[in-house]
Amino acid sequence: MRSTMAVLSMGTLIAASIFGGAASATEPIKTREVVTGISDAFVPGGFSSESDAYVVTSGVFPNGCYSWKRAEVAHKGTNYHEVKTYATISEGMCLMVLVPFTKEVTLGKLEAGEHKLRFVNGDGTYLEKTMRIEQ
């Protein structure tokens, strides 16, 4: 009799935790936005001053709670541009594996000449690349 009560109590506890978790699953997941770093940027050639230039960034998120959000391009001068990439971090259980990402970042129409691109990471470090725009 005592073991039957223990099993019933355990079953009730398991059911309560399952249904209690289901109720919290309907609540919105809390997220926050952070500046992320990139490990490399591919700068294709062949852009003219009449076409939209772009680069392809790549990096690794530290776990499965990170997801790509957006990139911001600040045109600091005619030939100098800063790029910051952002990710969303979801609170909760995370898959603890490195998650690679590759994203295209549009820079817009740039004047002819050589352009310096600075990819600023969240910790203040940066990666610089050069892009040549033809007439």
Domain 31-133 sits in CATH 1.20.58: no
pTM of the model: 0.77
Burial class (CB in 10 A: 0-12, 13-18, 19+), 12: exposed
Say how far apart CA 122 and CA 65 lie, in whole Å: 17
Task: Give the residue from 38, 134, 112, 32 showing the smallest Cα distance to 82.
Answer: 38
pLDDT of residue 24: 53
Q: Which residues of 65-92 are buried (b: 16+ CB within 10 A; e: fewer)?
A: bbebbebebeeeeebebebbbebbbeee
Average pLDDT (101-120) is: 98
pLDDT at 14: 44
CA atoms of 61 and 100, how far apart (whole Å): 6
1-59 pLDDT, tens per residue? 454 444 444 444 444 444 444 445 578 889 999 999 999 999 999 999 999 999 999 99
